[in-house]
Structure 1
Amino acid sequence: MSLTSAATLATLDRTGPRRITELAVIEGVTQPAMSVLVRVMEESGLVERRSDTSDKRVTLVCLTEAGASYVRERRQAGVQAYAGLIDRLPGDEIEALTAALPALLHLAALESQDREGPKP
Structure 2
Amino acid sequence: MVATEAQVSELAGELQRVLSKVLSVMRHTGRTPTSGDLTLAQLSILLTLIDQGPMRMTELAAHEKVRTPTTTVAIRRLEKLGLVKRDRDPSDLRAVLVDITPEGLAQHQEALATRQAHLASLLSKLSCDELDALTKALAPLERIAE
**Is the structural similarity TM-score above 0.5?**
yes
Q: Does 1:8 align with 2:52?
A: no
Q: Which amino acid aligns with 1:79?
A: Q
Give the Cα separation in 2 of the matches to 1:75 and 1:90: 24
3-state DSSP of counterpart to 1:45: coil
Corresponding residue of 1:84: 121
Q: What are the within-5 Å matches in structure 2 for residues 58-97 of structure 1?
A: 58-97=95-134
1:15-54 alignment runs, 5 A limit: 15-53=52-90
Flag structure 1 segments of 5+ consecutive residues without an equivalent.
Answer: 111-120
Question: Which 5+ residue runs of structure 2 have no aligned equivalent?
Answer: 1-37
Deviation string 1:24-61 (CA, Å, 9 cap, x unpaired) is 233344333433332222121000112334x1423210
Report which stretch shifted further, 12-21 or 29-38. 29-38
- 1:28–1:107 distance in 2 versus 1, CA, 3 Å: closer
Partner of 2:31: none
CA contact (8 A) 1:41 1:47 kept: yes
Alignment identity in percent? Answer: 36
Q: Which has the larger radius of gyration?
A: 2
Q: CA RMSD in A?
A: 2.3
Question: Structure 2 length as normaliser, TM-score?
Answer: 0.61
Cα distance in structure 2, aligned partners of 1:4 and 1:95: 29
